Every structure is written in C-alpha cells, then in structure tokens.
Structure 1
Amino acid sequence: MAYVKKERKRIKKCKLCRDNVEYIDYKDVRKLKEFMNDKGKILPKRINGNCAKHQRMVRTAIQRARKMMLVPYVNE
C-alpha cells in the first residue's frame, strides 16, 4: 500500500507582532472590525492568528469601543 502524506497546517503568525504594534486604539474602528465576525463577535485567536498578548489588547479595545458606542454589540 502507498502511504499518503498528511498536509501540514501553516502556522499563522501574529499580524500585530510582525508590524511591531505596541497599542491598539479603540477609536480605530476599521482595524477592530478585522478581528470581529459579521455578527459583531470577537474572533478567537486560533482563527485570526493573534498571539495571547495582542488578543488581550484586541479584546479590551473592542470592549472599550462597544462602551463608547463606536462598534455595535450585535449586528443584524
């Protein structure tokens, strides 16, 4: 029998680490929407490829933007 090679998953690199991002501004709505799905939920780090440090920064920025009504809690 022939052996079938398994395809290896490509490891996602953190976009924010590559760009040397120090702080994620909650007023930058366009950048925050990259880390949200179409319903307004925050995407997990395994999907968007963030490291733990930047995922926490994204989460707090989105939560602040929601409190300031810059980003809706739920899109319909």
Structure 2
Amino acid sequence: MADERPTTYQRPSSGPGGPRKKRPFQRRKVCRFCAEKNLTIDYKEPRTLRYFISERGKIVPRRISGNCSKHQREITEAIKRARNLALLPIASNHVLP
C-alpha cells in the first residue's frame, strides 16, 4: 500500500460537449488614431463618435474597437460630453440627427 501513489488527473480530450475548438488567431486591431496622426477626437463631431457606440447606445470596449488605452479614454470622455450637450443619444431608442 505504501507503493501506491495517486495518479495525476488528466483532462479528457473530449468533454460532454465534444472536443474543444481552438479559436483561429486574429490580428490585433491597430488604433486608428495612432496610425493616422491627422485624426482628432472631438465631442463636436458626433459622426466620428458614432462608430464607437453600439446599436444599444453603449460605448464600444477597447478590445472590440481596437483603440489604445489613451485614445479610448479620450473617446469615452468625448462621447459623454456629446451626450450632455444632446449631440448624441443617451439611450438607443432616441433618433440620431
């Protein structure tokens, strides 16, 4: 009995749902504001900010939009300012001009 060691647990290659599928490698999105230096983030341009708002009216996260953290903070601040000035809708059921 002293020689019996518990064996290490090996994960099964296929679980109850079948084998795990590996995600294909996706390229990292490049921040468009870093790539093109002439683009500016301005709260007075709702057409530019509209690309960073989902159809439900939420701000698109950085992992989806591909922005760097610096420009994502600037976009978030610009969207919030534009919402306060009623240039952008706060909720999704409002109509965009």
Detail structure 1 runs of 4+ shifted over 6 Å in the superposition: none
**Cα deviation, residue 8, structure 1:** 1.8
- Report what 2:45 is aligned to: 28
2:77 paired with 1:67:
no
Higher relative contact order (CA 8 A, sep 6+): 1
Whose strand fraction is larger, Structure 1's or Structure 2's?
A: 2
Please report the TM-score for the alignment, with normalisation by the length of structure 1: 0.85
Quick one: which of 27, 49, 66 aligns to 1:10?
A: 27
RMSD value, Cα: 1.7
The higher radius of gyration belongs to: 2
Any unmatched runs of 5+ in structure 2? 1-21
Partner of 1:54: 71
| Percentage of identical aligned residues | 44
